[in-house]
Amino acid sequence: MQLTRFTDLGLRAMMLLSAGESDGRRVTTGHIAVGAGASENHIAKAVSRLVGLGLVEARRGRVGGLTLTEAGRTASVGWLVRELEGDREVIDCHGASPCPLLAGCRLRHALARAREAFYAELDRYSVADLARSPALTLIQVAPPPAR
């Protein structure tokens, strides 16, 4: 299963926020964009969704920044991926031109079970589990480029 770029950026943002907490540093979308190798605009969209899910708190102003909420620290990666990806099937059997094999096909069921196994494995990890790497802390330290 391949995740969308949006989900990838959401996961990276969560991991970098978690790593940044250990430093006690103020983390901004600019910091995350540098650390994730993405545009600040794309990171802002992902962060907006994470704020909407109650996983991240955003404060504006000179002393503002992003912080994880308690829910953000403890959320399972599987739950987070489900929320960011939506409840999409691995393949679209009912698309613009429906599959002619739909009535007797077992592939759709097998892929649904595989998707659930994928999520079940990710449910074993929290964002904090994935952020336990000294390399993430080093990436987080890099300030965003001057404008």
CB neighbour list of residue 11: distance below 8 Å, 6 or more residues apart: 3, 77, 80, 81, 84, 127, 130
- Say what percent of the chain tops pLDDT 70: 86
Q: Give domain status of residue 94, yes or no.
A: no
Give me the pLDDT at residue 133, please: 64
In a domain, 93, yes or no: no
Mean pLDDT of the chain: 84
The answer to whether residue 140 sits within a structural domain is no
Q: Per-residue confidence at 134, pLDDT binned at 50, 70, 90?
A: low
The strand pairing partners of 121, in sequence order, are: none
Q: What is the b/e burial string over 10-38, where b = at least 16 CB atoms within 10 angstroms of the residue's CB? A: bbbbbbbbbbbbeeeeebbbbbbbbbbeb
Q: Average pLDDT for residues 30-40, to the nearest whole number?
A: 89
Residue 143 maps to a domain? no
| Residue with the larger pLDDT of the pair 79 and 133 | 79
Residue 139: its pLDDT value, please?
A: 52
The residue assigned the tokens 């993430």 is 136
Residue 91 falls within a domain, yes or no? no
88-114 tens-digit pLDDT = 777 777 766 777 777 778 888 888 899
Q: Is residue 61 part of a domain?
A: yes
The Cα 138–Cα 115 span in angstroms is 33
* CATH code: domain of residue 115: 1.10.10.10
116 versus 92: the higher-pLDDT residue is 116
Give a yes or no: residue 111 inside a domain: yes
Number of domains in the chain: 1
- Would you state the pLDDT for residue 141? 44
| Residues found in the chain | 147
Residue 11 sits in which domain range? 5-86+101-132
Query: Domain for residue 112, yes or no?
Result: yes
